[in-house]
Structures are given as C-alpha cells and as structure tokens.
Chain A
Amino acid sequence: MEKGMKKRWISLYVENQVGVLSKISGLFAGKSYNLDSLTVGTTEDPTVSRMTIATVSDDETFEQIKKQLNRMVEVIKVIDFTDIFIRMKEILYIKVKKCTPADKVELFQIAETFKARVIDYGKDSLLLEFVQTATKNDAVIKLIKEEFKTIEVVRGGSVGIESISMMER
C-alpha cells in the first residue's frame, strides 16, 4: 500500500429514498475514491437508512470524503469509525465443491477452528458460514483457496455499530 494509505470505516445515516445509494457510490466513482465495501439497510426509523462504508485512503483524501459526504443533502450524519470503539462483522459464505471424504473432514476442522458453521452439505460439496471481521474472512478465504480448487465465495461487506461497553473492536 502507498504511504499513508490505510483502511478506514465510515458509518452513514442517510435518507431512505430512491437514488441515495447511487448518489453515494457515484461520489466515490466520480472523485476516484476507493470504495472497498458498502452495506446498506433500513434502521429502526423506516425513513432512515444506515450504511457502513470501508475505504482505503490517505489522511487527506479521507478528510475530503467525509466532507463531501457531509455536504450531501440526503446525508443526515457521518460517523468516522476510525478511532472509536465499535463492533463490526461481516458475513461470508464459502461453498467448497468436488470434495473427497478427506476434504470434508478437513473442512469440519477448519470450521471448528474458525468458529464457522457448516450450514449445508451435499454428496461432494459443503457450505460454510463465517460471521467475523473482514480481516479474518480475508485470511479464511486465502487458506481455503490454497487447499481447495473449486470454491465459490460470497461476502456481505462489514456492518458496524458503536460499542456500549466493550473496549475492543
């Protein structure tokens, strides 16, 4: 990674309206900001959506991203997750195909080690579900990719919320 570049997270309260998602993603595309992942869903208030955005950027660009988001009419609030305590997880599914019986045994062991769940099972395939940090998911994908040839990966992007009492991330 280039100097000063690091991964950062923003939580965004936005109006739950048509076109807002495309406006936010369009800002990132139009101004050449990196957009690592973006998740969105409605909140306890159905007129408000909340986004968790992960981006890789340097300090100046990140400041600019926050300012640009803040000035959008549809953005209600921008929270920088960089230096506050949060809980954040990402859901990850890995389907491993063309498994031998020995492969399956190994996959069960991997599942146990990484606190994953085996949620579906076929004659020669297996479906794993991980709910952990995106960084850990990166590691798991790397590991399974090395061991198994035919896999299918889908991940949801991180979802984060401020901690109540936990002093860890």
Chain B
Amino acid sequence: MKQITGNKLFVKALKEEGVEVLFGYPGATTIDISDELYKQNNIDIVLPRHEQALVHEADAYARTTGKVGVCLVTSGPGATNVVTGLATANYDSVPLVCFTGQVARYLIGNDAFQEVDIVGITRSITKYGVTVRRREDLGRIIKEAFYIARTGRPGPVLVDLPKDVMGELGSPEYPKTVNIRGYKPNTSVHIGQLKKAIKVLEKAKRPLFLAGGGVNISRAGEIFTQVVEKTQVPVVTTVMGRGAIPTDHPLFVGNLGMHGAYAANMAVSNCDVLFSIGTRFNDRITGKLHAFAPDAKIIHIDIDTASISRNIQVDIPIVADAKEAITKMAEYVTGQNTQKWLEQIQGWKEAHPLTMKDRKLMSPLDIIGEINRQFDEAILVTDVGQHQMLVAQYAELTPKKHLIMSGGLGTMGYGLPGAIGAKIGNPDVPVIAISGDGGMQMNIQEMATAVLEELPVILCIFNNEYLGMVRQWQKLFYGKRYSMTNLKAGALSRRTNGEEFPSEYVPDFVKLAESYGAKGIRVMNREEIAPAFEEAKKNTKAPTIIEFIIDPEEMVYPMIKPGGTLEDMIMDC
C-alpha cells in the first residue's frame, strides 16, 4: 500500500468524518496541513480574524447543527488563544475537535519558537486532550477524538500535532471503528429506576419539571413537550434549557435562577417533586443550596454521573441521555391532576409578571418584542450580560426559534462569532445576534469574517454605554460606585475626576459597520425599531449592525441577592 504523509491522512480523516467546514488560522507548524487543504474541494475553510473567535464560531456551528465543530490553529499563541473558546464549549457541552500545531518532537521541551504545552494548559477545560507522538497513532487518535467529542456528554477534544509527525510517511488507512477501554459512554436508561421516578412523580401534589441544557443538546424538545402535555406537569427551564418546551406553552412557567421569573422560582421553592433533566444545578440557578426546593423529592436524569448529587443531593438518580430517557418516559407516564397546583402558579404569575420599566424612548423589551413579532424562524445568539438575561427572559422560542449563548462560562465576546458560526451552519435561517456594547467590542474583528463570508446576520447592539451587569451590581450592592464599568471613561474623565466624559461614544458603530462593508443603522426610539429590522432583512449578502441606544439606567429584574435563596427576589428598586 502506498504510504502517505500525516498531513494527507489528516485531510482524509476529515473527509471520512463528514466534515464540511473547518475553522482555521494558519501558522508555521500547520502550514503543511494548510497546503494539503488547498488541494481539496470537499471542506470549506473559514478564516476568522482571531483564534478565540474561531473556536466560538466552530462552537456555534456545532450547537446549531448538531455536528462536531472542527478547528485548526497553529502552535504557541495560536494555541493559547483557543483557551477561552474551549472552556466555553466545555461548560456548555459542545462537541468540538480542536487541532493545534506543535513544534517538531525533537524541539518539544526546548522552549522552541511558538512552543507551548497546550495539552497541559487545557487539561481541565477539555473533555480529552492528547499529543500525537507517533505517526502510526495519528489515524486512531483522530477517530477517537471525533468519537469522544460527540458521544456521552459532548465536549471539546484537543489534538496536538507535532510538525514532524505530520510530515512522516505512514499508512493511508483511517480506522472504521473505535474501542477505548476507559471510555464506554452509557446512554441507555435503566427502566426500573425510571419507573420508580415516574411513580414518585405521579404521587406528587405539586410536581414540577426542570429542563436544562441537556434537553436541548439531545434535541429532545418535541418528545419532552409531549410528556409534559400528557402529564400536565408544569415546566421551569434553566437559561440553557429555555426552548425545551415552546415558551408560549400554557404549562411553561419560566426560567428559574438568579434572573428567573418570580413564578418559576416560587414554583421550585414550593414543589414537592422536582423532576430535573440535563442540568448540573449550577449556583446561578440554585441560590442558597440548603434552601433549594426544600420540600421536594428530587429526581435527576443526566448523562454525566459526576453532575448527579454534586451540588444538590438527589433522591432518584438516573444516568442516561436525555432524549433516550424522555422517549422511554413517554411510554409510561400518565395524566395527573395538577389543576390546583397550576392555579397556584398562575397566581404567582399574575402577582409578579415578568415586566420592565416603560421607558420614554425605548426599552430592551420593545426590541426583543419586535424580534419576537418579526421572525417565525430564527436562531438568536446572545453575548453575556444584562441583554443576555433579558433575552433569556423575554425571547419567544418555538421548535423553529432557538437561542444559544455562553451559559456556563459566561464568555463576553461570544455573540458576534456565535452568529457567524450559526449562520454558516444554517444559511437559510435568519440569525440574530444580541450583544451589549462591551461584548460586541471583544470580538469586533470578526466583522471582517462576516462580511467576507457574505453572511447576512443581524447584529443588535444594546448600547447603554456601560458594562451593564456589573454596573447593576454596583448600583444595588456597591453604593453606585461605578468603578471600571463606564465605557466612555478615559483620560478626560480621570483628569476631571469623573465629572466629564467624552460626548461621543467610541467607536461609532454605524461608521464601523460601513468601514467593514456592512450596513449600519442607529435606532434612538421605538418607532424606528421595526423599520430597522425590515431594512436589515433586505440586506441579504452582508451583515447589518443595528445599534440601539438604550437607557444607561436599565436593570434586570427580578434578581436573587447573591447568596440568597430563590425566594429572596429583588423585584425592582
């Protein structure tokens, strides 16, 4: 059999894995791989402008298509720049395979030019990481990387490729099967345990479903909705689980947690059985641990054993893939009489509905409301901060309207690259990013990628001139000392002791859009919102930035006091 180089086998492996898009940034240690990719036409190469954004793009592509996102970066700084992206993907269980170049084996350990121990650096933020040390292992390792990334609880896998290994001749074979003795992910559900859980659910007077991101990752929303309707048990979701059931469904209560709906947090605090699926009971949803769902028996389905009984002691643990488990549940569940409990929840909803202060010119709610009205089908991508929580509260989601964001790590700068990745994976679906003025600037260089890839994404910037979420904490808990959060601050404000700020915001986002060859629209009041989106829809070959000038005083309510219980909600002030 004719031997081939590692570089050639790499390209062959991607083809056999069905990879359609590779997000790559070149460098000295990967230049030979770039050269091989030049010679083929099966895989589209996207060239972002920064490796962090590159990983976010692959991540959003993976989240919105269900396929594995593939990254290729060079060694040294190329590799260290992927760290934030990998950690983001790891927290939100996103399947990625990230290939990093590495210096030749004889240079490893020499502090060679652009050498870093990237496997060591990313050990705690990847599902698995490995350096290919022998050419004969290359095919097997790539095969295993894809398998590990997409099975079990999905996650990012890093494969480090020393330049000389890739240049070496070896077998052209790419393995067909995988057998890793230490990794046998369990997906099937233990029926006995599931029946036991259903029995407990049926006996409950105040039962509640809690759906986490796992329900969305396993794409179990449809069957989950059927189970909910059959049982008549109401549902709360985490931010990552939002959309597991359509948000206009009568049995959907709201999101729970730090910025959850009043009724949702009250429902959790008062339920007697909490049937949770695909969540790790992150501190942002539980509030004070010992007071979380104090009266409830807790059932927990999760694919990751380590997520069960870590933060919250669980009464009935079930290790399974969410979709497998819910599909089995659909066979066994029965209708329950939850009328009284639903009325109680309705009472909470009416007592404190989700609402925002009416603003003279425009409130974020006007903007999100317009998105809800104008788009029947869409992928919404947020950045991190106040706007993210507002979208999580108010965005209407259906089986055709999805929401993605950096939930676990809370990575500012995810919005724009996230929209790019989502649009590349779903060219026919409208993609709308919603960012703050802070987060937008963290990966603003990706405007070039969006323009050159001809992606008509709609990029909404909620500009309040502040890092709003931190500012909110400063307003509520730090005596309104807005330290480090005013994005207009600089030399002038230092000279004048905070008395004066520049009158113009930097940058001018409309001009910035234009300089990239995108469209820029500034919206100052609510009458301009609908026309702005209409205008953006007409821009079908390039991105549109819509900058919404919103009130700097905007707050997100309700809010649980840090360290408080779910019932300790600040409703307004």
Give the nearest-CB partner of A72 in chain B. B182
Contact string, B300-329, partner A, CB cutoff 8 A, digits 1/0? 000011101110010000000000000000
User: For window 274-321 of chain B, which residues contact chain A by CB distance below 8 Å?
Assistant: 304-306, 308-310, 313
| Cα of A67 to Cα of B310 in the assembled complex, Å | 10
Min CB–CB distance B312 → chain A (angstroms): 11
Give the nearest-CB partner of B180 in chain A. A73
B37 interface residue (CB < 8 Å to A): no
Which residues of chain B come closer than 8 Å to A26, judged between CB atoms?
A: 123-124
B473 interface residue (CB < 8 Å to A): no
Min CB–CB distance A46 → chain B (angstroms): 15
Contact string, A6-50, partner B, CB cutoff 8 A, digits 1/0? 000000001100110011001100100000000000000000000
| Cα of A126 to Cα of B148 in the assembled complex, Å | 54
| Cα of A64 to Cα of B309 in the assembled complex, Å | 8
| Cα of A77 to Cα of B183 in the assembled complex, Å | 10
Q: Contact at A22–B305, with CB atoms within 8 Å?
A: no
Q: Contact at B306–A68, with CB atoms within 8 Å?
A: yes
A107 interface residue (CB < 8 Å to B): no
Which residues of chain B come closer than 8 Å to A71, judged between CB atoms?
A: 304-306
Q: Say which residue of B128, B310, B313 sits within 8 Å of A73 (CB atoms).
A: B128
Min CB–CB distance A71 → chain B (angstroms): 5
Which residues of chain A come closer than 8 Å to B182, judged between CB atoms?
A: 14-15, 72-77
Which residues of chain B come closer than 8 Å to A80, judged between CB atoms?
A: none
Contact string, A85-129, partner B, CB cutoff 8 A, digits 1/0? 000000000000000000000000000000000000000000000
User: For window 42-82 of chain A, which residues contact chain B by CB distance below 8 Å?
Assistant: 60, 63-64, 67-68, 70-77
User: For window 421-474 of chain B, which residues contact chain A by CB distance below 8 Å?
Assistant: none
Which residues of chain A come closer than 8 Å to B304, judged between CB atoms?
A: 71
Which residues of chain A come closer than 8 Å to B183, judged between CB atoms?
A: 73
Q: Contact at A23–B310, with CB atoms within 8 Å?
A: no
Q: Contact at B123–A60, with CB atoms within 8 Å?
A: no
| Cα of A30 to Cα of B90 in the assembled complex, Å | 15
Q: Contact at A18–B180, with CB atoms within 8 Å?
A: no
Q: Say which residue of B127, B128, B133, B306 sits within 8 Å of A18 (CB atoms).
A: B133
| Cα of A67 to Cα of B128 in the assembled complex, Å | 16
- Max count, chain A CB within 10 A of own CB: residue among B119, B124, B130, B306: B306
Give the nearest-CB partner of A69 in chain B. B306
Which residues of chain B come closer than 8 Å to A68, judged between CB atoms?
A: 306
User: For window 340-362 of chain B, which residues contact chain A by CB distance below 8 Å?
Assistant: none
Q: Contact at A19–B120, with CB atoms within 8 Å?
A: yes
Which residues of chain A come closer than 8 Å to B310, judged between CB atoms?
A: 64, 67
| Cα of A51 to Cα of B131 in the assembled complex, Å | 23
B538 interface residue (CB < 8 Å to A): no
Q: Contact at A73–B148, with CB atoms within 8 Å?
A: yes
Give the nearest-CB partner of B183 in chain A. A73
Give the nearest-CB partner of A19 in chain B. B119
User: For window 102-151 of chain B, which residues contact chain A by CB distance below 8 Å?
Assistant: 119-120, 123-124, 127-128, 130-131, 133, 148
Min CB–CB distance B498 → chain A (angstroms): 40
| Cα of A162 to Cα of B94 in the assembled complex, Å | 39
Which residues of chain A come closer than 8 Å to B2, judged between CB atoms?
A: none
| Cα of A74 to Cα of B309 in the assembled complex, Å | 24
Which residues of chain B come closer than 8 Å to A77, judged between CB atoms?
A: 182
Min CB–CB distance B186 → chain A (angstroms): 11
Which residues of chain A come closer than 8 Å to B305, judged between CB atoms?
A: 67, 70-71
Q: Contact at B306–A67, with CB atoms within 8 Å?
A: yes
Give the nearest-CB partner of B307 in chain A. A67
Which residues of chain A come closer than 8 Å to B180, judged between CB atoms?
A: 73
| Cα of A159 to Cα of B141 in the assembled complex, Å | 32
Which residues of chain B come closer than 8 Å to A75, judged between CB atoms?
A: 182
B176 interface residue (CB < 8 Å to A): no
Give the nearest-CB partner of A65 in chain B. B306
Min CB–CB distance B373 → chain A (angstroms): 44
| Cα of A103 to Cα of B124 in the assembled complex, Å | 51
Q: Which residues of A approach B to under 8 Å, CB–CB? A: 14-15, 18-19, 22-23, 26-27, 30, 60, 63-64, 67-68, 70-77
Contacts A18-B131, A73-B182, A76-B181 known; 17 new A-B pairs at CB < 8 A: A14-B182, A15-B182, A18-B133, A19-B120, A22-B123, A23-B123, A26-B123, A26-B124, A27-B124, A60-B309, A60-B313, A64-B310, A67-B305, A71-B306, A73-B127, A73-B180, A75-B182
Q: List 16 A-B contacts (CB under 8 A).
A: A18-B131, A19-B119, A22-B123, A23-B123, A26-B123, A27-B124, A60-B313, A67-B308, A67-B310, A68-B306, A70-B306, A71-B305, A71-B306, A73-B180, A73-B182, A76-B181
